[in-house]
Amino acid sequence: MKLYSGTQCLFSHACRFVLTEKDIECDVVFVNDKQVEETVAELNPYVETPTLADRNLVLYDDVVVNEYLDERFPHPPLMPSDPTSRAKARVMMSRLRRDWLDDVQGCMSSGAKLDKRLNRSLSDGLVAMSNHFSENKHALGEEFSLVDVYVAVLLWRLDYLQVNLPRQGAKMLDYGKRLFAKPSFQESLSSIEREMRSD
């Protein structure tokens, strides 16, 4: 199994986090030269990361990759067992992508700074979510899930993106620190991602 990954692509990072959390044996190939890009182009019509090659199966789109990994390697589970809770998790991940992740990744790919609207949206939205973590350990309650994976890779990039949460967002930042402390999160970081934070 091979995962073709961007070095600072947050969607690739989410897949790497899932791989390490589940302790899946997989070769992570960072797309940082022309030869690897050509390999990805042969596998993926959109020539983008993440792209997963597992024997004769090729998958792209991070959500598809992560749900495949969760179903193929069911322990520990990263999606709830009941359909209603799984649907809620998917809605949360979809909102994260539509509201923030796609735009953030677009800025990072182009080297542009976040505009004021997106910066404010991120700051206000994360502060609004912060109270949830006064009573809950994770995004869906007590259990770590794919939703936490996506929030973690976003929170890791806040300093790099120059998004500063006010004191009302303290619970969100504490939650982020708990996720960053997980050995699987630390193992999932690329060398470039490690340099995004000083703490």
pLDDT digits (tens, 9 = 90+) for 165-191: 999 999 999 999 999 999 999 999 999
Specify which residues 59 forms β-bridges with.
52
Residue 117 has pLDDT above 90, yes or no: yes
Q: Do residue 23 and residue 53 come from a single domain?
A: yes
For the chain, the C-alpha Rg in angstroms (whole number) is 16
Distance from C-alpha of 26 to C-alpha of 166, rounded to nearest angstrom: 39
Q: Do residue 169 and residue 142 come from a single domain?
A: yes
* Average of per-residue pLDDT values in the chain: 94
Q: Pick the last residue of a domain from 49, 72, 95.
A: 72
Residue 199 within any structural domain of the chain: no
Q: Do residue 57 and residue 102 come from a single domain?
A: no
Type of residue numbered 98? R
Q: Do residue 176 and residue 152 come from a single domain?
A: yes
pTM: 0.95
pLDDT at 33: 77
Q: Do residue 17 and residue 48 come from a single domain?
A: yes
Residue 31 within any structural domain of the chain: yes
Q: Do residue 92 and residue 170 come from a single domain?
A: yes
Residue 122 within any structural domain of the chain: yes
Residue 69 DSSP code? H
Distances (CA, A) of 77 to 3, 22, 52: 20, 9, 19
Residue 177 within any structural domain of the chain: yes
Answer whether the bond into residue 50 is a cis peptide, omega within 30°: yes
> In which domain, by residue range, is 128 found?
83-182
32 pLDDT band, cuts 50/70/90, is confident
How many domains is the chain built from? 2
- State percent of the chain over pLDDT 90: 91
Q: Do residue 60 and residue 148 come from a single domain?
A: no
Structure tokens given for 122: 């991120």
Structure tokens given for 51: 């792209």
Contact 188, 66 (CB under 8 A): no
11 pLDDT band, cuts 50/70/90, is very high
Name the nearest CA neighbour of 72 among 97, 55, 85, 84: 55
Q: Do residue 56 and residue 94 come from a single domain?
A: no
Report the CATH number at residue 127: 1.20.1050.10
Q: Do residue 99 and residue 150 come from a single domain?
A: yes
pLDDT at 90: 96
Report the CATH number at residue 12: 3.40.30.10
Distance from C-alpha of 140 to C-alpha of 132, rounded to nearest angstrom: 10
